[in-house]
A and B are shown apart, each in its own frame.
Chain A
Amino acid sequence: QVTLRESGPALVKRTQTLTLTCTFSGFSLRSSGMCVSWIRQPPGKALEWLALIDWDEDKYYSTSLRTRITISKDTSKNQVVLTMTNMDPVDTATYYCARRYSANGFDYWGQGTLVTVSS
């Protein structure tokens, strides 16, 4: 079955760089049409899409965050990595990774990981 799991630090300091890893199973990012995305949600607020990487290694970024984030994949390890530089307390959120296949929505999500940024 398809699973995704986010991992990374629970606490980072202001100005540090955050690195999160999404480890998935049950599908391959080599398959045509397959994508993995990062999405975050500050406490009590709405979902915010961050970045997406597809099977062909094409990468897409949020317009407002593109200067700070990088998405990459290690297909052999079934992992997708998000790095976000210059973290600020406003970046405190639960960070999710999610899968999308072809023109469907995000059908599988990780449980999310809460990242707190201290000042």
Chain B
Amino acid sequence: DIQMTQSPSTLSASVGDRVTITCRASESITNYLAWYQQKPGKAPRLLIYKASYLQSGVPSRFSGSGSGTEFTLTISSLQPDDFATYYCQQYESYSLTFGGGTKVEIK
């Protein structure tokens, strides 16, 4: 299986900060990567698909980049609603896998 490693696992930031989360794949997944946001007690929400395509309705402060094995999710200016846990997920292989998650906390 393709392993997905996210870093950091926890991130403390302030409103207005630029935040970057990294996801590394154990082998190339071309651009078949999605990013999700999850808040406590809620289902995940799709933010980015195919590494850099913004899902409809998602604010433009979210962006994704990368290809192959290294990917990033960037929040250009952190807002109060963005404090949550973020997951990457690859769908290159027939056995999909998620990263371990990055919790974005208030500094």
| A and B found bound together | yes
Report the interface size for chain A: residues with CB under 8 A from the other chain. 24
- In this complex, the member of A49, A96, A110 whose beta carbon has the largest number of chain B beta carbons within 10 angstroms is A49
Chain A: which residue is nearest B97 at the CB level?
Answer: A49
Residues of chain B within 8 A (CB-CB) of A103 are 32, 49-50, 91
Interface-facing stretch out of B10-18, B20-28, B69-77, B98-106: B98-106
Summarize A's interface: helix, strand, loop or mixed: strand
Chain B residues within 8 Å of chain A by Cβ, number:
26
- Alpha-carbon gap, A62 to B49, bound state (A): 21
Pick from B32, B96, B97: contact of A37, CB under 8 Å: B96
**Chain B residues within 8 Å of A39, by CB:** 98
Q: Give me 15 A-to-B residue pairs in the complex whose CB atoms sit less than 8 angstroms apart, sorted by A's number.
A: A46-B99, A46-B101, A47-B36, A47-B101, A49-B89, A49-B98, A63-B95, A104-B46, A104-B53, A105-B34, A105-B35, A106-B36, A107-B55, A109-B43, A109-B45
Q: Which residues of B contact A (CB under 8 A)?
A: 1, 32, 34-36, 38, 43-46, 48-50, 53, 55, 87, 89, 91, 94-101
